[in-house]
Amino acid sequence: MRNTAAPFANGFYSQAAPAYAVFDLFATYKYDANLGFRLNVGNLFDRDYYTAVYRGGFFLYKGDARNVRFGIDYDL
């Protein structure tokens, strides 16, 4: 789980971004001594969140949407 409390406006931010919590998932499976699989899911529940707000709320940095990554590990 990644989360943050709403930061206060300071010299870098002109407005506080709302607090958020995002859940990520990671799984790995070792098939045999040489072969393994990985699965990563970011933002599991596909929540909308903002990492920063600038210029009085007119410019927002939106966080990543749900994303899935699959990997294969093979040792020679």
Instruction: Name the percent of the chain lying above pLDDT 70.
Output: 78
pLDDT at 5 over 90: no
Give the up-direction half-sphere exposure of residue 34: CA atoms within 13 A in the CB hemisphere: 3
Q: Could you tell me which of 43, 61, 46 has the C-alpha nearest to residue 2?
A: 43
Q: Which of 9-18, 24-33, 35-44 has the lowest mean pLDDT?
A: 9-18
Per-residue model confidence (pLDDT) at position 54:
78
**Residue whose pair of structure tokens reads 């506080």 in the numeric block:** 16
Per-residue model confidence (pLDDT) at position 11:
54
Please indicate whether residue 12 or residue 51 has the higher confidence score (pLDDT): 51
Mean pLDDT of 23-39: 97
Per-residue model confidence (pLDDT) at position 52:
80
CB atoms within 10 A of CB 17: 20
**Are residues 15 and 53 in contact, defined by beta-carbon separation less than 8 angstroms?**
yes
